Structure 1
Amino acid sequence: QVCSKKRVSSRVMGPKKRGGGRRGGGGGSQSASQDSSSDVTPWTVMLKTSSCSAAGCPAQVVEGSAEGQIELSLAKEQLGAVLSWFQSSVLPADSSACLAFAPTQNKYQRAAVHKMVEAKFPQLETASSGVGDARALAVYGRGHAPQKVTSEEAGARAARLYAYACDAGLGASVSRDELCELMQSGSLTGELARVWEEGEARQGVMDAVLQAVKADDGGALRALAQAQPLVRALLQQGAKDALTGDLPLHAAARQGAVGALRALAELGADLEAANSQGKTALKVSRVFEQTDAEAVLLQLGAHDPEAHRFPLNSQAASLGLGLGLPPSAAPGPSPGSAARPPQGAEMGACQSPSTIQPPAGGGMQGAGTAAAASRSAVPTGAGALGKSQTGAYSTSSWMGLAAVAAIVA
């Protein structure tokens, strides 16, 4: 739950805290590590206990503390020792005691305390409260932290807003829990309110696109793009689903929706875009063994980083042109991808109606399975190749396709 984007502007969350998040992108864990490790300012912690004793505390005790509250000043290197002292020496005498950190801590420093408590101190638990610069963390004995009541709807809305804020470059000083509190209290204002409205509008369009992809309805995608200009913009920008982090092109590749793949490419979807896991649509099609989708993506010009390992892939996919795929269905290659051989060239003199028959269901399906077969040994037994999602093919048809691809290569 740690985001790695720019800090929310001062008009949204107030002035910056000491040691706040850096501006700019980057991985959340990396930013957290840099922000927390670079801060040498001692942390102010208030020990709230009825025993009024800080005997044995490894941190510096500040003079003049109020009754029932002992102010401590500790460096981050002392955090583990202080938590151990609190667990073993304070809680046995006063189970309701707590360590209340001052709100000068930034988001990453609070996260570091949370992580240490969860990993090393099973008898302790943490809780954060407040919004913006008033947000602070406290450590309690397990079972004594105040319980938060969060509705399922508010949690889901906060998760979406958190994703929108990260995409917009906001969030270094706001957490999903904090956004949930804002949503439940109805106090979402300023820039975060604008991000929410714009994000919900985009997600509504994305939901419609994903629904058409799920139905493998290329016509519906084209009609939607005509009615909603935002569709093309989102596809060309590589917009992701806020809930799954997936792109429509990857969703189509995962389920083998070849009609949707062609329509998305026609509408400007980037064939080389990576999803939240760093995978391209071509990689996704291979992970889920969607050979038809793999062949379509290769025909559309997707760059194949494994071409040097499996040289028959592109040749097998190109057989689709000789097996019934109209030229209009195969746009030119995307920038940076290898040029596709001219139509028919890959068949050459080897093509013979008596020896090679187009498999039922269209050329691309046969080409798709041929692309998959090129990454494994050519089968020698009847039924070794099975069938694709579009129907059964004979062993002779498969071996014929593999033989032609091997000769061309």
Structure 2
Amino acid sequence: MTDIAPPTEVPRFPMSRAATCPFDPPPDLTSLREAAPLSRVRLWDGSTPWLVTRYAEQRALLGDERVSADATRPGYPSQAPVRGNRISFILMDDPEHARLRRMVTAPFMIKRVRQLRPRVQGIVDDLIDAMLAGPRPVDLVEAFALPVPSLVICALLGVPYADHDFFQDNSSTIIRRTAAPEERTAAHGRLAEYLDGLVGDKLAQPGDDLLSTLAERVAAGELTRSEAAQMGVLLLIAGHETTANMIALGTLALLENPEQLGRLRDTTDPGLVDSAVEELLRYLNITHSGRRRVALEDIEIAGETIRAGDGLIMANDVANRDPEVFDDPDALDVGRNSRRHVAFGFGVHQCLGQPLARMELQVVYGTLYRRIPGLRLATTMDAIPFKHDGSVYGVYELPVTW
């Protein structure tokens, strides 16, 4: 086995961001990247997986068939204690991963997503109309950032938006690092039961939505009802949590960079809006707990030997700030070509919903600041409650006015 430093010399992971730099990765994480592409870190359970901090090594390992996403394998670096076998296809390997993923791919294909764009534009415009007609200041998270992707994913899945308080509350418990295992298990159970009921409804009365498609698979014997419900849980959580946090955190980053906000607000070039979306994804990288994997075989990389059974954590937030790939990486530049970022991962497990997320963000960033050109913070930066306790980074509230 590769020599491991004594416990006192192995830093704990995850690491804390600097209070004065809430948009940047933790300073200790940046220092590790500068020192070496791979190093050992210590997790909550005392295990010491490899932390991969540089862009090239992350892409190589995420595309390597000798690296597994299966969370049930020994050595997998779990984020927290796990109760029960409640895993989705994103924590499986091929061929089962590919079989299940194919069943939900069609609605997220680029052509289908383009057809959704007018509907998303209407949702965005309606929510902005409501904000403009309402009192000020307003919490942008509650009034806009959460409703946009929640309304979209509900329509796509066939989930009643009237239930949004229920699924948003349970989703936030599941992704909160500080939640006890019992809390996460209970929240997951409530969502699974809820989605199972909806799948049952679609079996009886199918509609034009993704849950109805999964129900057809259940009726054909290709899926169990439990598998369909678990896939629904995954898509519902992923479909609103990440995009909602990107909307709010991206807006805050732009408000703190007024020159960049001005470029985006005043442009008539959709290409600049598209590049701004990619740059904000790179710059903010809200999935900040790293992508977790385990080695199936010995792997030689960057002068180190990763042994079979060793855990791997790909710290995508610092990889997206790698100066070997991005010039002046700690600066926000909405005109930068950032398409190579790894905010959506890489390889067979890269984010299924990235075309939808991109389109939603393009509509939001291309509309909100143009329609409310005087948008500004209604509080001070030090009063903003950031989600340091979540596996998805963002803000709990964002008071704004105009």
When normalised by structure 2's length, the TM-score is: 0.25
Q: Which has the higher helix share?
A: 2
Which structure: larger Rg? Answer: 1
